[in-house]
Structure formats: C-alpha cells, structure tokens
Amino acid sequence: MSDYQIKKNPTVYDAIIVGSGAGGGMAGYVLANAGLKVLMLEAGPYWDPKTDSQQLKNPWESPRRGGGTTRPFGDFDGSYGGWDLEGEPYTKKDKTEFDWYRSRMLGGRTNHWGRISLRMGPLDFKSHQIDGLTEDWPITYDEVKPYYDKVDRMIGVYGSVENIENEPDGIFLPPPKPRLHELFIRKGAQKAGVTVIPGRGSVLTEALPGNKDRGQCFFCGQCGRACKVYADFSASSCLVIPAIKTGNLKVIPNAMVRTVITGDDGLAKGVSYVSKEDGQEYQVNAKTVILGASACESARILLNSASAQHPGGLANSSGVVGKYLHDSTGASLSGFIPELMDRKRYNEDGVGSVHIYSPWWLDNKKLDFPRGYHIEYGGGMRMPGYGFMNGIEKRNGLVPGKDGKMKEPGGFGASLKDDYRRFYGTTVGMAGRGTAIAREDNYCEIDPSVVDKFGIPVLRFHYKWTDAEIKQAKHMQETFQSIMHEMGAILTSKLDGPETNYGLEAPGRIIHEVGTVRMGDDPKKSALNKWCQAHDCKNLFVVDAAPFVQQGDKNATWTILALSMRTSEYILRERKKLNV
Amino acid sequence: MNRRDSLKALGVGSLSATLLLNGCKTDKKKAGNDAAAPHVEEQGRQPFEIERDKELLSEKFFTDHEMASIIALSDIIIPKDERSGSASDAGVPAFIEFIVKDIPDHQTPMRGGLKWLDMQCLNRFGHSFPECTHDQQIEMVTLIAYPKKATPDMKQGVSFFNRMRDLTATGFFTSKMGVEDIGYVGNKPNRWEGVPADVLKQYGFDSVS
C-alpha cells in the first residue's frame, strides 16, 4: 500500500491520473482494478482518514477550540487547504469576485465535503428546453443512470424513494431519522408549501453489501473530519487506497503538475510536475493522460500546456477551456426555536450529512428568476466549538426568562450562565444551493504576469452574478423567513437586502465550481466529446467537474463519480479496440 | 463491515464509549485545566500548523496586569454555581491568551478595551479594574453589560464586553467542564434511532415519525 515514494522512472504507464479526488480517485479505482498500470499524481500529501482524521476529538483538544484559523471549516475539518494557499495565488479581473477552494491532500476535497449525494435529473442534462438560457449536455440522464446505479452500489448512499421527476431515486440505504429541530423544520416547511424529504448522503447507515473494507456509521456526526472506519465516502478511503491495494496503482504525493507534454503527433505523452518534497522537476510518461485536478486546476494545466500543435492551450482549439465556469448559488439564514429552550439532553449527533432536505419544488413559469435551488438544514445540540453562542446579547432579550418576565439583553453572572444552558440546542439554520447559469463571460484564464511559487502561471478569474442569481437568492431569503415563521422560530441573522444581493455568496464560496472544460458534440463549442475525451487529443481525458455543461442545483460529486466511471470504462473499451 | 467490526477497527473492541474517549486522549490532565497547557497534536496536521501552535504557545501577549483583569472579568461573566465551576476553573483565561494570538483581530479591541476599563475605574474609584473591590467591579461591569440600557458614553465598553462575553463563553463551554455543564453528550459511538419517544410526545410529534 505504501509504494508511493518518488522514483524517476522510464516506465510508460498505461495511464497517468492527475488528482486523487472524486474524479481522479474513481478513474484510478476502475483502471487499476482492470489491471492497467496507473500512476496518480497528487499535489498534496498522502492522507488516510484512518490515521489522519481528527474524528472523535473533543473541543478542548484544539487550542483554538476547533476554530478556523488554519482550516476554513475548523481545526478538526478534514481539509488541508482553503481559499488561500501560501505561495499558490490566483488573481481576479475587472474587480469581479471568485474564491477558489483547494484541498491539497490524497482524496482532495472529498475528505471534508458534506456527503450530500444527489443525482442530476433528466431536466438538468437537457435544460435548454426550459427557458433557452442554457445548453444541453451531449448525454441524457438515461445514459448516465447505469453509472449512478453502480456508484450507489459501490460506494453507498442513504435516501428514500420519492418518485420526483427531476430528483431521480437511487439504490438507497436507510436514511437517518430526523432530529427534533428537523421535525420543527419539516412541519414549518409543510405549512409554507415547501417539500421536505429525507436527506441523501454517502454514509453507510447500514453495512454496504459485499464490502468488507468499510465500516458502518456509528453516528458521531463528524463526516466533515473524514471517517476513520471508512463509513462515509472519501476518495482516499473508498477509491484510492483500495486501488493501491490492487498493486496496479502507484501514487506520487506532493507532485504539483505543471503541464501535459504532447508529442509532434499532438498526442499526450505524459506530464511534467514539480515535487514539493525536493523541489525537482520530473517527467513521467503514459499512453493515456487523465486530468482530475479539479475543474479550475485542470483548465489551468491545459491552458499552460500550449505547444506548436496546440497553440491556444491543449484541447483548446475551440477556445472554451476556462469558460462557462459556474458555482452553485448560496444564501442562508439562521434563527432559534423558543419552544426548544430548556430541552432535554440526549445524543443527537446522527450522521454528518443531512438528515432532511428540500428538493426544488416550484414552477419557474410563475417566478421572476430561472431555475431553482434546494435547501439544506442545520441546527440542534451540536458539539460546542469556537464561537459557541456568540452574540447571546442579541438573543436573550427576545424571550421571557424562567420567571416569565422579559430580560434585559446581555448581562453576566449566574443568570447569563443559565441562559447559555437554556438556549443550547435551539438554533436552526437553512442554506439554499441553486443553479447558476453557465456563461461564457464567467471564466478563468492564465494571468499573463503572475506565477506561483513553483513558477507555474496562475489562474485569473472573471465572474459576475446576474439578476438571475440575485433574484434566486432573494427568493431563498423569502422562503427561509416563511419557514422560520411557520415553525415559530425567531431570526438571529441579519436580513440581507438588495445592498448585499440578498446574502448571495461570492462565486466559489459554495465550492461546487464546474464547467471549465465542457463536453459537447461540436468540437468548435466544446473541448471534450461526450466521453470526456479531448476532441483535439484522443488520449487525453478529463474526469473532474470541468466537463459539466450545466449543473443543476445538485451538488456535483455524485455526477463526477458517475461520469468518471463511465469515462474509465470507455477507456478500457477503447484500449481493447487499440484506439487509445 | 458491521457496526461492531467498525468499532473494533477504531480500536474500541468491547470497551465502553467512555473508555474510548479517554483512550483517544493523549494527555490526562485534570478536568477543566485542559486549556492551561494545550497539547500540540501532530497526527493528521500539516507541519505549518504544528509549528504555528508551538510558536503561539511559547509567546505571551497579555501582561500580568491585563491577565488579572481577564481572570476577574471571565469569572464575573461565568461564575461558579451549583452545577459547575467558574470560567477560570475551566481554563478560560489561558484560552483567551491563546486565541488573541491565533486571531490577531482580537488583540487591539481586547488590549484597548482593558485599558478603557482601567481608565473608567481609575476615574470612578481611583483604582485600575483588577485593583477594584468586587463590588466596584460589578458596578462597572453593569454599566457595559447591557447593550440596550448602556448610556452613550459606555458604548465602547459595551463592544469590549460583548467580545469578552463571547470569548468567555467559548472558552468555558468548549472545556471539559463546560461541555459537561451544557449537557452535550455526543461524540461517542452510538446508534441514532430518532428522537426519544418521551421527547416526541413532549413536543406533540408522537403521531409522526
């Protein structure tokens, strides 16, 4: 399992995979299990949840009590990275905004993600008919469905059969039951006309049939730290580490890929990378090169791989590489449920993914914005951490004290200490995640004058929200307020208005960025064909979220996994036909 | 792998959850004082994180005088009662010392706020805050602890005290003593079967699942 030390090797691998996240991990798993000799390059260190996860640590075991100084989602979060990496800058153009989250580690961002595992629906793949604003994928849901099914069986996902047209059901393990605050939310949402169904998450609420390597969930609610018994999906634990065990996959960690090398025939020969361990440059060769470095990083590698045969960047004769970048929209609201004050204590950690979930439920013909969003919910008796009940002075004057009298907000002493106890476990939060329209004018490109510490030219982003996304955020806020009202909650977060785009997060903050190396049937309008194979370079594939033509409101990971599996099986078929 | 095997894989075997949690701890300092000398965890952390923690722990930000104020204020905010000890019993002052180094945005408001407080007390009582009697300290704190009631000339003190209250609450309720006090009983292997029946009944959800 540990043959991942760096060696300079004249070997020509069957395939080189750049990146070890959902896309790269799945490609490595499929190809290594099929007997191919595969080399995987990961820009961060080797990381195994079994030994490296901070799961089951108590808040006092962190000097910052789980605060987010060095990791944006807290000291215990399973991510080596963030929106800002030392020595690895990116720039922004025309005062537009884009925040780029990178996890440099085996498994990438799948170690810390929310495990919310949604299939895109038939309408998400063919969305042009809805309003003409977006382009269709070259593939249909029915073509991807068999791969979603295989991913469900192989990795495991809980959920419930709902028969909602554009929220396709999967092959589900039982979903966790709702927590108390989630029953309040469900009741309020129903009154507000909002659909609530059980969540869908890649957590093994029961043993995964036929799999002896992965443990079963023991309900600590800490999937974000990555699971030591592999009961949730991380690309590290579920794909890459098992693939290493086949003996066919070698991983080189701390290998930052600079370019894909192409030959006079225009085909990919291998890649050039810098080792973060010795600062040396290496070149490795393969018959097939597969990029799974993340949507933006893969676009960056292609654009930096310009050559005589590929003057505008590799796989970029269409000029679309870097364009059509889109991240989910996001806005949120929080409050508390007075009825839950002084509630009984018990362990309600549950799973670390969502227990309940609202799929998009409305008809856009009656709305002033295109497309929809889903809602994720939070709250309850969580493990205290940095910022615990911050701003109690904004809360403890809003409801009567135990004596039935209103209190002066703020305070100190025994009565304040008791307020913390009374309010504990009353908070609720809602967050919308919606469809952003893929636009040519939202893009990343190579900054002509800036390099990172490895001398690799960096990305420059240009991204603007439009009325479509802002109005969607406004609708989210109105919906959240209406649910909060119906469930008897009191709002605690400030209400965002037009001056803050209704709380619409800056692009990149939701970390669902996709679309930068899109697929299509027309080589003039797309970089990849429907198998995620470069139109211009037949032994080059992209398996992360870059090939997405247009995402729905669904989180990208499950689709990345399905498409990467589909592409990997295509590569195996083409190899048999000696095409690649 | 079933749930029992999962726990075996975690190294739990047939041990109870409590033992598991104890077993996970690398330091066995007495309850409440965990913040006094935090252990720098290395497994699963990046070299720069480990270095940074060690460096911050070796530095001293607050003067002894400032620290005396922090101890007094934190114990005024969270005093000992029948259920648990005080903020300083739970190591809150050491947490505050660490966190202002970790999050430098706290430094000027905390240092300046403590100085503001000293000046108020010198003018009112002829003593700096830590040298005031407990009653004088309470009198002063009362002027800045209630944002809506505070007079305009006390607003800077209100801002400082809001921050101090937040940091004290974090420090206390994230300590072992505070977690026990607040009644967080998770962070251990278990099986989630939904809301307990008596609680469902209490809130009128017993007819739904």
Instruction: Round to whole Å and give the CA distance between A158 and A116.
Output: 10
Instruction: Round to whole Å and give the CA distance between A327 and B166.
Output: 34
Whether A398 contacts chain B with CB within 8 A = no
Contact (CB<8Å) B48/A180? no
Cβ-Cβ contacts under 8 Å, A389 against chain B: 169, 173
* Nearest Cα residue to B31 out of B98, B100, B84: B84
First to last CA, chain B: 28
- Chain B, residues 137-196, CB within 8 A of chain A, namely 141, 145-149, 158, 161-162, 165-166, 169-171, 173-176, 178-179, 181-196
DSSP secondary structure string, A76-140? TSS-SEES--TT---EESTT------EE-STTGGGGTS--B--PPPHHHHS-HHHHSSSPPPSS-
Do β-strands A533-534 and A490-491 pair in parallel, antiparallel, or remain unpaired?
unpaired
Contact (CB<8Å) A412/B145? yes
Contact (CB<8Å) B99/A384? no
Cβ-Cβ contacts under 8 Å, A349 against chain B: 186-187, 190, 192
Radius of gyration of chain A (CA): 24
What tens digit of pLDDT does each residue of A304-338 get?
Answer: 999 999 999 999 999 999 999 999 999 999 999 99
Cβ-Cβ contacts under 8 Å, A61 against chain B: 25, 34, 39, 41
Cβ-Cβ contacts under 8 Å, A413 against chain B: 76-77, 79
* Nearest Cα residue to A547 out of A299, A289, A235, A258: A299
Contact (CB<8Å) A219/B40? no
Residue A309 is predicted with a pLDDT of 95
Cβ-Cβ contacts under 8 Å, B159 against chain A: none
Whether B40 contacts chain A with CB within 8 A = yes
* Nearest Cα residue to A268 out of A290, A247, A243, A253: A290
Where do the H-state alpha helices sit in A452-532? 467-486
DSSP A403: T
Sorted by sequence, the CB contacts under 8 Å of residue A211 that are 6+ apart come out as A156, B1
Per-residue pLDDT of chain A (580 residues; tens, 9 = 90+): 445 444 456 899 999 999 999 999 999 999 999 999 999 999 999 999 999 999 999 999 999 999 999 999 999 999 999 999 999 999 999 999 999 999 999 999 999 999 999 999 999 999 999 999 999 999 999 999 999 999 999 999 999 999 999 999 999 999 999 999 999 999 999 999 999 999 999 999 999 999 999 999 999 999 999 999 999 999 999 999 999 999 999 999 999 999 999 999 999 999 999 999 998 999 999 999 999 999 999 999 999 999 999 999 999 999 999 999 999 999 999 999 999 999 999 999 999 999 999 999 999 999 999 999 999 999 999 999 999 999 999 999 999 999 999 999 999 999 999 999 999 999 999 999 999 999 999 999 999 999 999 999 999 999 999 999 999 999 999 999 999 999 999 999 889 999 999 999 999 999 999 999 999 999 999 999 999 999 999 999 999 999 999 999 999 999 999 999 999 999 999 999 988 7
How sure is the predictor about B4, in pLDDT bands with cuts at 50, 70 and 90? Answer: low
Do β-strands A457-462 and A533-534 pair in parallel, antiparallel, or remain unpaired?
unpaired
Cβ-Cβ contacts under 8 Å, A218 against chain B: 3, 6-7, 10, 189-191
Whether A353 contacts chain B with CB within 8 A = no
What SS3 state is found at A27? helix
Beta bridge partners of A428: A335, A379
DSSP secondary structure string, B31-88? TT-TTTS-----TTS-HHHHHHHHHHHH---S-HHHHHHHHHHHHHHS---SSS--TT
A337, A562 contact by CB (below 8 A): no
Burial zone of B139 (CB within 10 Å; 0-12 exposed, 13-18 middle, 19+ buried): middle
| CA A427 to centroid of chain Cα atoms | 25
Cβ-Cβ contacts under 8 Å, A215 against chain B: 1, 3, 5-6, 9-10
Cβ-Cβ contacts under 8 Å, A390 against chain B: 166, 169-170
Q: Which tokens in the block code for residue B181?
A: 């006090």
Query: Is the dihedral angle over the CA atoms A561, A562, A567, A568 positive or is it negative?
Result: positive
First to last CA, chain A: 28
Sorted by sequence, the CB contacts under 8 Å of residue B164 that are 6+ apart come out as B70, B73, B74, B77, B110, B113
Q: Which tokens in the block code for residue A441?
A: 């004018």
- Chain B, residues 75-114, CB within 8 A of chain A, namely 76-79, 81, 95, 98-99, 102-103
Do β-strands A281-291 and A12-18 pair in parallel, antiparallel, or remain unpaired?
parallel
Instruction: Round to whole Å and give the CA distance between A162 and A195.
Output: 11
Contact (CB<8Å) A220/B189? yes
Domain segments of chain B: what residues? 3-202
Cβ-Cβ contacts under 8 Å, B102 against chain A: 63-64, 67, 69
CA angle A305, A308, A309 (to 5 degrees): 85
Sorted by sequence, the CB contacts under 8 Å of residue A47 that are 6+ apart come out as A80, A105, A106, A107, A111, A236, B44
| CA A103 to centroid of chain Cα atoms | 11
Q: Which tokens in the block code for residue A439?
A: 């636009």
Residue B132 to chain A, least CA–CA distance (Å): 18
Residue B44 to chain A, least CA–CA distance (Å): 4
Contact (CB<8Å) B3/A218? yes
Instruction: Round to whole Å and give the CA distance between A354 and A185.
Output: 13
A381, B186 contact by CB (below 8 A): yes
DSSP secondary structure string, A160-182? ----BTTB----PBPPPPPPHHH
Whether B43 contacts chain A with CB within 8 A = yes
* Nearest Cα residue to A193 out of A380, A360, A378, A432: A360
Q: Which tokens in the block code for residue B155?
A: 């607003």
Cβ-Cβ contacts under 8 Å, B106 against chain A: none
- Chain A, residues 426-485, CB within 8 A of chain B, namely none
Whether B18 contacts chain A with CB within 8 A = no
Q: CB-CB: which of A51, A218, A381 is closest to B184?
A: A381
- Write the ipTM: 0.95
Q: How many residues appear in chain B?
A: 209
Identify the residue among A55, A56, A60, A205 best suited for mutation to test binding to B, counting B beta carbons within 10 A and taking the highest.
A60
Contact (CB<8Å) A218/B190? yes
* Nearest Cα residue to A296 out of A10, A507, A535: A507
Instruction: Round to whole Å and give the CA distance between B206 and B196.
Output: 10
- The owner of tokens 């969930």 is A217
CA angle A299, B44, A252 (to 5 degrees): 45
